[in-house]
Chain A
Amino acid sequence: MTYRQARWDEPPIWDLAHAHAPEPAPAIPGVPERFRRREALRWPELSEPTVVRHYTRLSQMNYGIDSGVYPLGSCTMKYNPKVSELLARRPGAAQVHPYQPEATVQGSLEITWRLEKLLAKITGFHEVSLQPAAGAQGEYTSLLMVRAHYRDLGEIDRRTEVLLPDTAHGTNPASAAMAGFVTREIPSKNGCVDLAALRTALSDRTACFMLTNPNTAGLFEGEILEIAEAVHAAGAMLYYDGANLNAILGVTNPGRMGFDIAHLNLHKTFATPHGGGGPGAGVLGAGETLAPYLPVPRVAKVGRKFRLDYDRPKSIGKIKTAYGNFGLDLRAYAYILAHGEEGLRHVARRAVLNSNYLAARLGRRLPRPFRPLVKHEFVLSGTPLKERGVRTLDLAKRLLDEGVHAPTVYFPTLVEEALMIEVPETESKRELDEFAAAVERALDDSPEHLKAAPTSCSVGRIDEVRAAREPVLSWKDLRAASAKVETP
């Protein structure tokens, strides 16, 4: 495909205005002089058209799902329904304050309550809380709940370990460490949990085993019931990282597989937009043992009215201001309503079909380190490229020139030169074929071209080493750097 991203020579916003004239901020009556800002905020005074044109140009130098296929493994980059955007902007949704009296926010409370109930059915859990702002915060909140549970049992001094497979998302060990646990990685066998190694590692020191299923190699952990049994036999909790839930909607669920607690990413499975890196929504599902520890408040239905319930003595308290990311909860609610039972099952089936189709096609060109049957994503190894002096990174950059986004690269780390590819149900066969053709063209291209890529984006290959070695992190840094140049 011939593709050219916009390439504006657009200066930073501060260069669009006249020079800054330092003057003090206005005085506020009743506020002592020592509080007053001596030099007014340094930021350009611009007309609205100038600002709009600036950010419109920047947006044209950005690639989104509406631009084309976005096959990032473990990210579930699916189409974000436009109707959800419309609904989230209704005054009844957006212009509502969390501290309004309950009687004036019955709609928000009911949507929260209904979404929690729907997600409980989808995940097979006793209770769901929408409070955590993103997946990693959901993981963290879960582990704080696990900690509180073992404190109540008097076992927290002993249960200091969280186990996780070597294919785990980086947030898992990071969340466990933040929650005060020591992490231990369990080596995988053929891309899945090595049950024998897990059994050896489990002990009365284990608080939790964190698992993604299907895992980050795209494989379904077929021994999940045995894993759950082993974890529970050790008196530990089994945690489900819901990043890959899209593959199993309506087929199985974490409750059914024996998990005690889970986070879901509404911004993956339930199609709320990723927003260029956020916001997300990391809702929690918990079984009966851990549900009492969920954050407050909970939404309760009393008669026909909905209210916020703070009377949860075992709750860990709060993890963010107010409740969940309601703007995203509403979008996810609309998504679930539209799909219904059959639609959700269809989502998983088509996503898995897409993934296996593309895996079969690309598997003809690059090695697949694991068994062929995958779920929502699959992993390839770019090692053959090395014979020609190029790497997976070069292939990824070359793909950008084809008008597609690159897959996740160098993860999972147990695969050398890994490419992790996920093509959700919203991609058509034509898109899959075009993406495959783009990969094939890139593989057939010369090493020189691969190393010179990208040439069709708004900038060429970026010097990331320089960015890290000589950090320039703000306008203030740019000013300091130019002052240095002017007065050597």
Chain B
Amino acid sequence: MVRWISDEVGEEAALLEVLGLASVDELFRDVPRKARLGRMGVGPSREEPEVVAEVDKLLERNRPLGRFANFLGGRIACRYSPAAVDAIVSRSEFYTAYTPYQAEASQGMLRTLFEFQSLWVELTGLDVANASLYDGASAAGEALLFCRRLHEGRRFLVPASLPWEERSVLANYASGPGLVVEEIPYDARTGRLDLDFVRQAVSAHDVFGLLADVPNGFGALDEHLFELKSTLGDVPLAVAADPLSLSVLEPPGAYGADVVVGEGQGFGIPPSFGGPLLGLFACRREHARQAPGRIVGATVDAYGRPAYTLTLQTREQHIRRSKATSNICTNESLMALAFVVYASVVGPKGLASLQSSLAEKARTLASALGSVEGIRSPRFEAPYLGEFTIELTRGTAAGFLDRLRRRKVLGGHPLADPRPGTPAGPERVLVAPAESVGEKEIARYAAAAKAWAAAPGGR
């Protein structure tokens, strides 16, 4: 029997004896006969080495990122995580703990979360961060609901360039209270938001918020960002920002953001086929009591010494139930730990220099691809950091990426919504050089693209 279950010899009999029972079956006598199961069909138990062998056999069918020249990004980044990060995350005092409801026994995690909140506050230029949400997309969903608590209205504006997954998540978060997510058109040359559209929408008085992303879904920086708050007036501005970009870019608090969300996976968390991720959330002080999720605060103990605890809990589901600001309970605390350890090991200078180096790789590749027949690169005339969009003037994104893959290049990912019935847009690919990319990989990408251009074919 599995050795994780306590099964010392004679234990079960001793427990039953105290209860005056002959068999464990008697403890299930209140389960109606008609609801009982026969066999589930789960299969036999396995010893630990067999489990390892079986899982390893399946994992061998994956080809991990290290085998490719890797240009996959989007909200999930491929960066090196110093070994110190996993060493800390692997400390079982952290990873086997529950939510720090008993604060006195949980100061380690509480202090870590306080440091994590402080870091997101510094990165965003806002005042109050929570102790994490699930991922960047659901954090954007929470930002939508947060904006609605601050302002009347029915419409929430988002860039049409926002990744389709996030638009879909936002549509879901809007659907409960009957709100509408509306797409702001962008300039075909620069990818910039149409400010006139925003102005007109706001003047109709039913807009309760706007979300802009930095960099945007095309990887570009939009200069209209700085005009948004003055265009919106008292309508809340939400910004979804890549944390690494904030090591070099003005913090959104400086240009009027009321709430800043983001995906924190790039800081010390492996891509792991898409999860666990890390949702980031910060807002202004005056709106702290409208924020979703747990928040750690500093206070003192009975002896007047510094101490930390979960606070402002009257916002939360376990106290307020249906009146809570959000339903979130379990968050991503351990990932928040990875985030703050990563940033502390790499340091502010290291973060900025990583962002500079990724931007240089992106620039080099974008210009190399610009000379390839059949590729517009970069597609938009805009400033970029570590990722950019290309557009194919012939063939399909899928066919292009498939050709690259055969040359061991993961060339990026298509921006189109893959769901049948959604309008087929231009064949665009978001290209994001991973931290592991060097000159050789960039050259391999360019060569593979040229080979494709010579004979596009494929799907």
Contact = CB atoms under 8 A, between A and B. Distances in A.
Contacts of A405: 98, 102, 105
A51 interface: yes
Interface in A316-347: 316-328, 330, 333-334, 336-344, 346-347
Nearest to A34: B226
A264 interface: no
B15 A277 contact: no
B134 interface: yes
Contacts of B36: 251-252, 256
A411 interface: yes
A61 B323 CA distance: 34
Interface in B407-430: 410, 413, 418-421
A45 B1 contact: no
B55 A144 contact: no
Given A353-B16, A373-B30, A63 B97 contact: yes
Nearest to A70: B98
A414 interface: no
A265 B45 CA distance: 21
A66 B277 contact: no
A341 to B, nearest CB: 4
B42 interface: yes
Contacts of B190: none
A460 B305 contact: yes
A280 interface: yes
A267 B98 CA distance: 10
B330 interface: yes
Nearest to A333: B55
A153 interface: no
Contacts of A111: 55, 58-59
B317 A174 contact: yes
Contacts of A300: none
Interface in B154-177: 165-166, 168-169, 171-173, 175-177
Interface residues of B, number: 201
A458 B107 contact: yes
Interface residues of A, number: 204
B323 A177 contact: yes
13 contacts: A37-B250, A62-B93, A96-B62, A111-B59, A133-B275, A144-B172, A171-B329, A274-B96, A277-B109, A334-B51, A342-B1, A406-B102, A427-B6
Interface stretch (A232-240, A442-450, A461-469): A461-469
Interface in B28-79: 28-32, 34-37, 39-48, 50-52, 54-56, 58-66, 68, 70, 72, 74-76, 78
Given A55-B341, A274-B96, A454-B105, A97 B78 contact: yes
B287 interface: no
Interface stretch (B230-238, B293-301, B441-449, B450-458): B293-301
Contacts of A176: 322
Given A41-B246, A334-B51, A338-B2, A173 B270 contact: no
B131 interface: yes
A62 to B, nearest CB: 3
A460 B302 contact: yes
B132 interface: yes
B72 A100 contact: yes
A374 to B, nearest CB: 9
A56 B329 contact: no
Contacts of B147: none
B312 interface: yes
A459 interface: yes
Contact of A468 (B109, B311, B333, B351): B311
Contacts of B329: 134-136, 169-171
A174 B321 contact: yes
Given A45-B347, A87-B52, 9 more contacts: A141-B172, A178-B176, A265-B330, A275-B335, A326-B272, A337-B55, A344-B42, A350-B6, A463-B302
